[in-house]
Amino acid sequence: MKQLKQAYLQKIFSQELRFAGFSNAWKERKLKDVTERVRSNDGRMDLPTLTMSASSGWLDQKDRFSGDISGNEKKNYTLLKKGELSYNHGNSKLAKYGVVFSLKNYEEALVPRVYHSFKALANTSADFIEYMFSTKLPDRELGKLVSSGARMDGLLNINYDDFMNIHITFPNYEEQILMSAFFRKLDNTIALHQQKLNLLKKQKQAYLQKMFI
């Protein structure tokens, strides 16, 4: 199922496939022309504190690290609201040039300031931007921005302004919404199948223990 999703992502975002009723040419825009920076916070420190995983997206630090690791740096975290995005410019095996995720499961949360956080402007879908980055199509431009590899903390030397100057090709807003809804449905289906698989694995382990004890 995940391989099927990735195949659809590549074909649809490279415009090999189009949804019925849409034929207008996509327009190339700089990311800074369709987004706005999100930074700082309003002083509330009781909000969920999140971190980003290339494989799983946003995770509560308490779940990822068995505790909140923000420490004194928490006061400098960025307040992110539902539907806003962050770019984690960390190098990993799954994402050589980092990942972009929008906030979906929380109304508000605090995220590390080191992430480049931003929000989509009118007539631009945050989900479309997230899915575009998941195709790896922007990697060619991101790769040109890396001047000296990863830092000691694993982050690539890609600053906010350079990141915002990369080019993304956008269809009209209606097609963005349709594409995002299609892939969100696929994501929900994948999650449901994963839950069933996890349950079956637990049942198998329980049967094994009973049969071999």
pLDDT tens for residues 62-103? 988 988 889 999 999 999 999 999 999 998 899 999 999 999
In the beta sheet, which residues pair with residue 209? none
Q: What CATH number is given for 27-170 in this structure?
A: 3.90.220.20
For 84, the 3-state DSSP assignment is coil
C-alpha span between 145 and 59 (Å, rounded): 27
Q: Where are the domains of the chain?
A: 1-22+173-213, 27-170
**Residue type for position 87:** Y
Structural contact between residues 154 and 91, judged by C-beta atoms closer than 8 angstroms? yes
Q: Give percent of the chain with pLDDT exceeding 90.
A: 64
- The pTM of the full predicted model, rounded to 2 decimals, is 0.86
Instruction: Give the residue-averaged pLDDT of 130-157.
Output: 82
